[in-house]
Copies of this chain bind each other. A is one copy, B any other.
Amino acid sequence: MIKRHGRSTLELENRPSVISWGAVVGKNEGEGPLSDCFDNIYYDSGASQETWEKSESFFQQHAFMEAIEKGELHPHDIDVMFSGDLLNQCISSSFGLLEFKVPYLGQYGACSTMAQTLLLSGLFVNGGIADIAAAVTASHFCSAERQFRFPLEYGGQRTPTAQRTVTGGGCAIVGKHTEGKPYIHAVHIGTMIDLGIKDANNMGAAMAPAAARSITDFLRDTETSPSDYDLILTGDLGVVGSELLCELMLKDGIDISNWHNDCGLLIYDRKKQDVHAGGSGCGCAASVFCSLILNRLSSGELKNVIFAATGALMSPTSSQQGDSIPGISHIVNVRSD
């Protein structure tokens, strides 16, 4: 049922499938290069909600609804739901998903949440703990800005290394192995790593060492090399973090540059859109993975993908108190036959 490689790389021998998925985004994301991939684009990024926090909840809710509708499922079919977000006390998850009345395990993995929730969904279905599990997360530019940086009205300038929090959400529904659907071959549970970076405007650099560590461990544990994969996809390292990741791994003799891409680089057109170092936030990896990537795995265009979302496990309080930024990266290896 499960084969363990190393300390925390787990091969899911029942090959649970991602049976359906959905991604919904806001205006900026809808105007980017992936516009055709999303299930819905809300050009009013507030989604007619009273507050930005409620808008973020809306994106969680609608990502879940798209995924279950496309899978011809009802919320009652879902045995367990894993969700989390960046807001204090993860309220976009709880308020967004409350009404579906699904057994719920709240997660906190910061921007690694999509990988963390998918990993747990895969393990639950693989082990017969659940027949069908849902992994869902979202983020919102406006709620994140005011919570982590400045109120939008302040009009603060952002540094070139800063990334833009994606307004959007994604949901993946995991069920028993189903022919023709992408399946989870293996997962890797990340370990926190902190190399002392303190610049909260350079999250990519803070998270890159965690991605390097997890990808290196995963390749070693599975006795594979980058060329065995079609794509090694990080969550939201952006341009700074992506370069650093490739450099860090090259120092260890592993060249991933031909296979690496990053959701934060895919979601926006950095030449045309004012997004500085790229996209970020839980919704970045979620909306890219639960659209473009799963679509391509489904069509057979991609066959073997390492999805390594990264999270920065800090808060404005920890930064104000002078702490550095611990990073983590969880991996889900998704394949199609």
A: which residues have CB within 8 A of B?
Answer: 1-2, 4, 7-8, 10, 50-51, 53-54, 79-80, 84, 86-91, 93-95, 97-98, 101-110, 116, 120, 123-124, 127-129, 189-192, 194, 313-318, 321, 323, 326, 328, 330
Given A88-B88, A318-B91, A106–B103 Cβ distance below 8 Å? Answer: no
Which residues of chain B come closer than 8 Å to A79, judged between CB atoms?
7-8
B7 touches A194 (CB 8 A): no
A8-B79, A8-B80 known; A104-B192 Cβ under 8 A: yes
Q: Give chain B nearest CB distance to A330 CB in angstroms.
A: 8
Contact A189/B108 with A79-B8, A313-B91, A317-B91 known, Cβ cut-off 8 Å: no
A4 CA to B51 CA in the complex, in Å? 40
Q: In the complex, given contacts A91-B318, A106-B107, what are 15 additional A-B residue pairs having Cβ atoms less than 8 angstroms apart?
A: A2-B127, A8-B79, A8-B80, A53-B317, A53-B318, A53-B321, A84-B106, A84-B108, A87-B317, A89-B313, A89-B315, A91-B314, A98-B192, A105-B116, A106-B328
Chain B residue at minimal CB-CB distance from A188: B103
Q: Which of B51, B89, B190, B194 contacts A98 (CB 8 A)?
A: B194
The complex places the Cα of A107 from the Cα of B90 at a distance, in Å, of 10
Q: A2-B129, A127-B129, A318-B53 are in contact. Are A189 and B104 (CB under 8 A)?
A: yes
A315–B54 Cα distance when bound, in Å, is: 13
Partner of A95, one of B80, B86, B94, B323: B323
CB distance from A66 to the nearest CB of B (A): 21
Q: Give Cα distance in the complex from A190 to B79, angstroms.
A: 11
List the 5 closest pairs (A to B, CB-CB), nearest first.
A94-B313, A89-B315, A8-B103, A127-B127, A106-B108
